[in-house]
Structure 1
Amino acid sequence: VAEHALIEGNCVLKHHVLVGGHAEIRGGPILLDDRVLIEGQACIQGEILIEHQVEISGRATVIAFDGNTIHLRGPKVINGEDRITRTPLVGSL
């Protein structure tokens, strides 16, 4: 965790995880594992599992609503103004 990043709640950072910039991670449970990079003003909120070479940057947002779980498995790049509110279908990212 570097720079001005904020992590609140039930969050586990495992192998090769970097959270930096003004990124915000809130809620949980959240698991970040295996070469995950979250930077810029990215926002992660809710019940989230992100693993295996995923990069989230810019103003991208990943939010799980109403007890749903979002699972992002790489390799993927999510950036700009992208907004994810449910687990993507295979091959859509």
Structure 2
Amino acid sequence: MKQVLVVLMCLGIISFVALAAPSQILKNCCLKYSGILPQLKRIKEYVIQKNDGRCKIKAVIFKVKNLWICSNPNNLKVKRFVEKLSQKERKG
């Protein structure tokens, strides 16, 4: 009887962890684009979000201080920012 209880508890914990993980991933996805674009010099880093099933839209996410700003990757200014930031990363 104790073994059955232990197995059921383990299955419950595994199920809880498996179901909880996707919701945390979705919290980190952009749902829409911001109306503002930060100044290039204020951007600390950036991440490219793909439409891969977890996230619904493609986006470029810029980090400014402790704020993450979701931007449209098709915007010309966003493309220029990504190009300049990636060049800066390569130079070190």
Normalized against structure 1, the TM-score is what? 0.21
Q: Report the structure, 1 or 2, having the larger strand content.
A: 1
Larger radius of gyration: 2
TM-score for the superposition, normalised by structure 2: 0.22
Of Structure 1 and Structure 2, which has the larger fraction of its residues in helix? 2
